[in-house]
Structure formats: structure tokens, C-alpha cells
Structure 1
Amino acid sequence: MRKWLYRLFIELTNHSLSSKLLASFAKSRLSGLLISSYAKIYHINQDEMEKSLKNYKTLQQLFVRRLKAGVRPVDADEHTVVSPVDAVIEDMGTIRENCEMIVKGKPYSIAEMLGSVEAAQPYVNGFFFILYLSPSHYHRIHSPISGVIEKQWALGRKSYPVNRLGLKYGRRPLEKNYRLITEVTAGGKRLAIVKIGAMFVNSIELTHEGEQLVKGEEMAYFSFGSTVVLLFERGSFAPDPRIVAPMPIKVGERLGYWREAHEP
């Protein structure tokens, strides 16, 4: 019953018109009246923000805020992979032979997520992370490694929730939602950075120019809370033993270690 009611509510509210209305309101000066209460309800750390709260005139401006220089130091070890976002690690693990990953006890197909079996094949027996950004989080996305962008493509049109209830009861939001995929290569191995839109707001804006990525550099931002999925090619990644799910993590903090093609 709980699952049915949850899905019914989402289907009734997940409409393009409601999405557009919410997005328009968030960009309006009227939404600025809610900034103070929003910051209080979601416990936003104002000491980290590039500007003071009074300088943000709309909720949209607050959502995509930048942080002060130096408040997110990036792990300096050249062999590490770092978190691209401030988030909660909702799940992590090995990608199965059938191109599935198990998230909150539910199977998700990375072939559907990436758009084809061919695109998913390099990641079979690889590793995945699900990084969830709530409305309280900093919404800018940074590169987890230094490498070269080989391919970038968008899929999907839905905007189901990607929080814990969405992952457990939703209609496969990691596979169906609007998503922007960036495939990066480094040292002969590849990594897919899958940026997934959330309920009501499907806005993912790219800010990086060129093909070269540097670990810790900004590459995009979400207009609202959402999710980033990292897919590592088999044999390319070893998770840091301190990392468990669920746990909070910030941009630049170590997720694990990158293995180049020539490494055993």
C-alpha cells in the first residue's frame, strides 16, 4: 500500500507544467522572500558561502551558490578519486555480470542508464557509487579525477524523486530520469559520471569548457537537489576502506584509488 500511494502521488505531481511553474517561481524575486527560512530549515552553512545570504535575490541563486575559495580542499594524492559533490553516499558496490547494480535492495540496469548494452559493457564487474544531493547541499559538481572527456550525451525526460523513497519505491529513477552522462578516460581506463535530474527540476548546466578535466575543478551544477552516479570500469578503482554507505561526503574528499591500465 505504501509503495502504491507513493507512486500515485508522484505520478499526479510529476508533470511538465508543475515543473515549469516551480522553476519559474524559484527564479522569481518573489521566491527571495523564502530565502531566510529556507536557509534555516535546511541548516545551510552560511560561513562557507561565497556571498552573504542577503546577496541572493532568488531561491535559484541560492541553489547554485558558490563557496569561498579553500573551503573544499581536494585530496592531493595523484592516485586518488575524490567526491565530485557534497552528498550522502546512498549506496556503493560491484556492478554485476548482467549489467545490474543493486541499490537499496532494488536492481538497476546500467545498460538502460547509459542507453545501450554496448555503453554498459566496460563497466561490468566494475564499481559504482550513488551520491545523493539534498536541497541543503552545495549543488555544483566537480571532476573526481584528472582526465579527458571522450563522450558526453543526454537521455531521459522524467523527473522522479531520487531520494531514499524514490530509489526504493520509484519507477526506476536512475534509469528513467533526465540524465547527462560524461565519460572520462585516464591512464587507459574510463569512468562514467552520470548526473541525474530530480523531481520537478531537470536542469543540469555544464560550466566546464574543453575536453581536459582536472581533479577538483567545477564541471557543472544542478538547479536543485539530485544525484550523481559514478561508474568505474572493471579493474580501474579500489574503494577506500573507510567509505561505507550511507555516509556524508564533501567535494574533494577521497573515495578511493585509481588504477591505470598497466597496473595489476
Structure 2
Amino acid sequence: MLKWLYRFMIELTNHSFSSKMIAFFTKSRLSAILIPSYAKIYQINQEEMEKSLHHYETLQQLFIRKLKAGARPIDQTANSIISPVDAVIEDIGTVSENKEIIVKGKTYSIQEMLGSDSAAEKYLNGLFIILYLSPSHYHRIHSPISGVVTRQWSLGHKSYPVNQLGLKYGKKPLSKNYRMITEVNARGRNIAIVKIGAMFVNSIELTHPNDHLVKGEEMAYFSFGSTVVLLFEKDSMELDSRITAPMAIKVGERIGYLK
């Protein structure tokens, strides 16, 4: 019953009109009245923001805020892979022989997530990491490793919530939501960075200037909280011993090593 009710309520609100209205409001000067309460409710760390709170004229500007230089030190180990976002690591596991992953007890098709069997094939038996961003998090996405973008594409239209309730009761949001995939080749290894849109707001904006990514440099941002899925080829990544799920992590912290 709870599953049905949850999906029903999302379907009622998750349409283009409601999405456009919410996007319009968050970008309007009218939304500025909510900024102080938003910052308080979500306990946003104002000390690390590039600008003081009163400089943000809309909620949208606060959502996509930048941080002061040096606020997120980048692990400089030569072969390290870093977290691309401030987030909670929700799950870690291995892509099965059937090209599937299990997250919060629900099975997701990597083939569906990436859009084709050929795209999914290279990640067979590889590691996956799910990173969830809440509305309180810094929403800019940084490159987890230095490499070359070999392909970039988007899939899906609607977006359902990707919080714990969304993962449990939603319509497989990790593989059905609007998503933008960036595939990077680093030292001959492929890594898929799957950026998944959140409820109402699908906007994922790319900011990297060319196809060469540098570890720790900004590559995109979400207009609202969402999720990043990292996919690694088999035996290409060694997870750092301190990494577990669930756990909070920030941009620049080491999550593992490229083999």
C-alpha cells in the first residue's frame, strides 16, 4: 500500500508543467525569501561558501553555489580515484554476470542505465558506487580521475526521487530517471560517471571546457540534489580500506586506486 501511494503521489506531481513551475520559482527573485530558512533547515556550512548568504538572489543560485578555494583538498596520490561529489555513499557492489546491480534490495539493469548492451558489457563484474546528494549538499560535480572523455550521452525524461524512499519504492530511478553519462578513459581503463536527475529538476549542466578531465576539477553541476553512479571495469579499481556504505564523503577524498 505504501509503495502504491508513494508512486501515485509522485506521478501526480512529476510532470513537465510542475517541473517548469518549480524551476521558474527557484530561479525567480521571489524565491530569495526562502534562502535564510533553507540554509538553516539544511544546516548549510556558510563558512565554506564562495559568497555570503545575502549575495544569493535566488534559491537556484544557492543550489549551485561554489566554494572558497581550498575548501575541498584533492587527494594527490598519483593513481587515486576521488569522490566527485559531496554525498552519502549509499551502496557499493559488483555488477553481476547478468549486467545487473542490487541497490537497497532492488535490481537495476546496467544495460538499461547506460542505454545499450555494448555500453554495459565493459563493466561486467566491475565495481559500482552509488553517491546520493541531498538538498543540503554542495551540488557541483568534479572529475574523480584525470582522463579523456570518450563518449557523453543522455537518456530518460522524467525523474523520480533518489533518496532512500525513492530507491525502495520508486520505479527504478537509477536506470529510468533522466541521466547524463560521461565515459572517461584513464590509463586505458574505462570509468562511467552516471549523473542522475532528481525529482522535478532534470537539469544537469556540463562545465568542463574540453574532453580532457583533470582529477578534482569541476566537470558539471546539478540544479538540485541527485545521485552519481560510478562504474568501473573488472579488476580496474581497488577500493580504499576506509570506504564503506553508508558513509558521508566530500569532493576530493580518496575512494580508491586505479590499478
Q: TM-score range by the shorter chain?
A: over 0.9
Cα distance in 2 for residues equivalent to 1:256 and 1:176: 28
1:206 maps to what in 2? Answer: 206
Describe how 1:56-205 pairs up with structure 2 within 5 A.
56-205=56-205
Q: Per-residue deviation at 1:78?
A: 1.0
Give runs of aligned pairs for residues 45-60 of structure 1, distance below 5 A. Answer: 45-60=45-60
Which amino acid in the other structure matches residue 130 of structure 2? Answer: I
* Offset of residue 13 of structure 1: 1.0
Instruction: Give, in whole Å, the separation in 2 of the partners of 1:120 and 1:241.
Output: 27
Q: Distance in 2 between matches of 1:245 and 1:160?
A: 22
Q: Distance in 2 between matches of 1:144 and 1:196?
A: 16
Amino acid at match of 1:92: I
Deviation per residue, 1:31-68 (Å, 9 max, x gap): 00000000000000000000000000000000000000
* Deviations 1:48-99, CA, capped at 9 Å, x for gaps: 0000000000000000000000010000101110000000001111111100
Query: What RMSD over aligned residues (CA atoms) do the two structures have, in Å?
Result: 0.5
Number of residue pairs aligned between Structure 1 and Structure 2: 259
Partners of 1:18 and 1:3 lie apart in 2 by 22
User: Which contiguous aligned blocks of 4+ residues in structure 1 show a shift greater than 6 angstroms?
Assistant: none
| Aligned twin of 1:262 | none
Secondary structure, counterpart of 1:123 in structure 2? coil
The alpha-carbon deviation at position 2 of structure 1 amounts to 1.1
Counterpart-to-counterpart distance in 2, 1:128 and 1:183: 14
Which position in structure 1 is the counterpart of 2:257?
257
The answer on 1:17 being equivalent to 2:17 is: yes
Tell me the distance in 2 between the aligned counterparts of 1:178 and 1:130.
16
Partner amino acid, structure 2, of 1:112: E
SS at match of 2:98: coil
Alignment pair present for 1:36 and 2:8:
no
- Runs of at least 5 residues in structure 2 that lack an aligned partner in the other structure: none
Mapped partners of 1:206, 1:64: distance in 2: 12
Cα deviation code 1:166-200 (max 9, x no counterpart): 11110011111110000000111100000000000
SS in 1 for 2:216: coil
**2: CA distance between counterparts of 1:158 and 1:27?**
20
Distance 1:155 1:64 in 2: 22
SS in 2 for 1:60: helix
TM-score relative to the length of structure 1: 0.97
Q: Distance in 2 between matches of 1:9 and 1:106?
A: 20
- 1:221 equivalent in structure 2: 221
Gaps of 5+ in 1: 260-264
Deviations 1:87-136 (A, max 9, x none): 00011111111000010011101100000111000001000011000000
Tell me the amino acid that sits aligned with residue 177 of structure 2. N
SS at match of 1:72: coil
The percentage of counterpart residues that share the same residue type is 73
Looking at structure 2, the residues matched to 4 and 255 of structure 1 have their Cα atoms a distance apart, in angstroms, of 36
